[in-house]
Structure 1
Amino acid sequence: MSERAARTLLTLYRYAGAAAYPLMGPYVAWRASKGKEDKGRTRERYGFAGHERPEGPLIWVHAASVGETIAVVPLVQTILGYGVNIVLTTGTVTSARVVRERLGDSVIHQYVPLDLKPAVSRFLDHWSPDLAIIAESEIWPMTILELGARNVPQVLVNGRMSDRSFASWKKRTSLAEALFENLAHVVAQSEIDGERFRALGARPVTVSGNLKVDTLPPPVDEKTLQAVRRQIGKRPTWAAVSTHEGEEKIAAEIHAALRKRHPGLLTIVVPRHPPRADELAEQIRSMGLRLVRRSSGEPVAADTDILLGDTIGEMGLYLRLTEIAFVGRSLTGAGGQNPLEPAMLDTAILSGKNVQNFRDSYKNLLERGGVKLVRDRNMLAGAVNYLLLNEEARRNMIAAASATVNDMRGALAATMKALEPFIHPLVVQAGLRRASKG
């Protein structure tokens, strides 16, 4: 595709988005009916503001979902310490809850506008950001073009590009270049990610490491943790977390195979998408297993086989209940899920081999012995059995994972260094404004 064709395509995208805008109502309403949108705040998806714009410099930070939101929390807190206002957008109900729990009223939270010109323009007209910071892999053409047209610096932080995304963009390099030339800086997670962004025309690109390593471990309510621990007692446990379709059944089958070898065994299953819980509960019970859903408030009994973690925001609880964690979307799914939270919370980590989206983290964990990759259900069952039987091996993996995380820290400082030329002028403006009022 030529450069001229790419720019023509982006222009057509702009007009197509404007034409589609009036038709988006039923789609957003359908999402709200499924709990995927906040029913009381759907107007924000069309760019309507839910708050007044504060006076002075303002930075727009966008994090799509829970993982990205957790990753940028320390970054946001650091910037807030300089006295600059932040409007933080997210795309999901669960990520909005994370913002409320971890940042409270220190930021203005809005749902990200649809990537359609009327919505994006309305959002930018109201908030008029001085800088846009985008987390990980959120490449929205209309938003990037509108920010570029307004000469708002855009910085991609914790930048990640999966194998699949890179292959797709490589087929449209002119289109990628027409978009990425609007980015003032890309701060990539790894050297591989950095090289991919450079290959697609992004300049300049620096590498920081993964911001998720510099976050705190997932929080937990101590009273709840102690109560559930009392219910479990000294029973052996293992967990399958962030699971995708098919992996929950595998976990239940492994439980059924191992419970005779490990009397009292409790398996904790935490699906990546809690709305699947009804279906999963029925499936697991049909296998003759006794199941307790965390959302029901029912205690874990002595004969409970499976604790189904169907709540949001309690990963810190589930991981603290065990020392063995299988991380999903890696056996039946593709790409894997983030292994860093289990590493922070003293677990021996198991995973399938499909972990391309977190290649760098898994590479570091493998080199230190903090994770074991398995190819199928039988190999996973064998690994769980081995770790349940061998405390020394389990402890060694836990220590290796913890050491790996400690060695990987430093991404926040590197990211702030890259952001300094963009943030410093805003800090000065904010300071002068406060001084003039004082």
Structure 2
Amino acid sequence: MGRSVSLAAYMLFSRFGEGWFARKLDTNPERRGIASIPRPDGPLIWINATSVSGADAILALCRRLLDQNPTLNCLITTKTNAAAQALQGQMPARMIHQCIPVDANSYVTAFLDHWKPDLSIWTEAEFQPAFVVQTERRNIPTIYIDASMSAKSFNRYRLFSGMTASLLQRFDHILTRDASSKKHLQNLGAPTRKTESTGPLSGSTPPLPHDETQRKAMARAIGGRPVWLAAHTHEGEEDAIMAAHKMARRSYPELLLILAPRRSERGDTIADMLREQDCIVAQRSKSQQIDRRTDVYIADTPNEMGLWYRLAPVSFIGGSLIAKGGHNPLPAAALGSAILHGPQVSDFASAYDTLLAADACIPVADGPDLAKKLEATLSPERAAQLATAAWGAFGEGDPESDRVFELLQSYFPKEAA
């Protein structure tokens, strides 16, 4: 491994420049490496997620790893509030979130001393040098997945080519999202034998889990009523969703809306708002039941999206009528629910582009457009066409995610089910 004067200088700064790093911090002690919860027993994999879409893809990957390894724990760190919010209410048991510390040596040491990861993972276009150096010194395997290196980033990293090469050589494996990133990283010093192009890591996942007893009970309660789902909704979207629901009920008088807010703690607020509009509402969090009079069922409990997608043949994916960047449509596609979405889907643009090209989703411009297109999509024939097309676009496996999963799983061979 080549020595780098610039990396040595950076590590000295990381060690003695804590005051400079501290000026960049908010009041969250996690940013100083102070954990908010104890480390769980058993093996632990640590993954740093960078973007919203990256966090969603990591969630899907972690679910697979946890399913296969009954004592494994997954620690996900994020730097931005947006990426952290993407995880809220979505994490299964044995998954933990913390904010990643800044790259001051003492903060990195405190973090690694507490969590003692058995495997560390960096993603997309970011890794912190002091962390990479310290994990190697501690003999913690370190992998770079979904590695992305644009031409602009390449030119910036090239200014510190010795430092970058020294860091890249410390990774045990580097899996890039495209051939261009692989070429850029190898030109910066990534070892050829450790670097491969596997394609982008997506949020594609095996179907979300559910309780089949609950599904059967809910299906009996719904009976033969038509039903649609508004999934991952945010404040500012429910009015448009309700307007669309009321318009669709002109053609489907018994239509039931299942409304699953992105933040389940908003359930009471939404219920109060709807009751002021003379809607008959039932709330999942209060164990209230659906009956023939129920207009809206508020699904305000975490980790049950697999149940709602199975019950609803049509789903509107929220976070897309307002500037939230949208949410992942692939879990709905995997469970055969026809997809509608608004225009604000920048965080998952690639997935939506693929669905649109396959005539597997319905984009809507705004609330009135949702009202118009929902009614047409509720037709069983049209919903089935969309669901079949979505399955054709995404339901035949995800070799990119499979390769990453297989590599990470190889570090926990005794844990495999």
Aligned to 2:399: 410
Q: How does 1:347-362 map to 2 (within 5 A)?
A: 347-362=337-352
Is 2:285–2:300's contact at 8 Å kept on the other side of the alignment? Answer: yes
Shift of 1:120: 3.3
Shift of 1:297: 0.5
Q: Secondary structure at the match of 2:197?
A: strand
Q: 1:332 to 1:309 in 2, by over 3 A?
A: same
- State yes or no: 1:210 paired with 2:201: yes
Q: Distance in 2 between matches of 1:282 and 1:176?
A: 57
Q: Secondary structure at the match of 1:269?
A: strand
Q: Distance in 2 between matches of 1:321 and 1:70?
A: 21
Shift of 1:340: 0.6
- State yes or no: 1:394 paired with 2:394: no
Aligned to 2:288: 298
Q: 1:275 to 1:130 in 2, by over 3 A?
A: closer
Q: Distance in 2 between matches of 1:238 and 1:329?
A: 17
Between the two proteins, the alignment pairs up a number of residues equal to: 386
Shift of 1:134: 3.8
Letter in 2 for 1:391: P
Q: Distance in 2 between matches of 1:283 and 1:62?
A: 39
Q: Secondary structure at the match of 2:343?
A: coil
Is 1:186–1:202's contact at 8 Å kept on the other side of the alignment? Answer: no
Q: 1:186 to 1:369 in 2, by over 3 A?
A: farther
Q: Secondary structure at the match of 1:46?
A: coil
Q: How does 1:288-327 map to 2 (within 5 A)?
A: 288-327=278-317
Q: Distance in 2 between matches of 1:272 and 1:140?
A: 31
Shift of 1:399: 0.6
Shift of 1:419: 6.1
Q: 1:67 to 1:289 in 2, by over 3 A?
A: farther
Q: Distance in 2 between matches of 1:309 and 1:175?
A: 51
Aligned to 2:327: 337
Q: Secondary structure at the match of 1:335?
A: coil
Aligned to 1:436: none
Shift of 1:70: 3.1
Aligned to 1:33: none
Question: Which residue, 106, 109, 121 being the options, matches 1:121?
Answer: 109
Letter in 1 for 2:381: E
Q: Distance in 2 between matches of 1:179 and 1:275?
A: 44
Aligned to 1:60: 45
Greater helix proportion: 1
Deviation per CA, 1:230-256: give whole Å up to 9, x if none.
111111111110122212221112112
Gaps of 5+ in 2: 50-54, 78-83
Instruction: Choose 176-185 or 235-244, whichever is displaced more.
Output: 176-185
Question: Which residue, 167, 170, 189 being the options, matches 1:182?
Answer: 167
Instruction: Choose 152-161 or 304-313, whichever is displaced more.
Output: 152-161
Q: 1:290 to 1:364 in 2, by over 3 A?
A: same
Instruction: Using the aligned pairs only, state the percent identity.
Output: 27
Question: Which residue, 6, 18, 37 being the options, matches 1:15?
Answer: 18
TM normalised by structure 1 equals 0.71
Is 2:326–2:346's contact at 8 Å kept on the other side of the alignment? Answer: yes
Letter in 2 for 1:98: P
Shift of 1:298: 0.6
Aligned to 1:381: 371
Question: Which residue, 249, 259, 263 being the options, matches 2:253?
Answer: 263
Q: Distance in 2 between matches of 1:99 and 1:409?
A: 24
Deviation per CA, 1:175-223: give whole Å up to 9, x if none.
99878973535435x549958986997955623343532x321111111
Shift of 1:4: 7.2
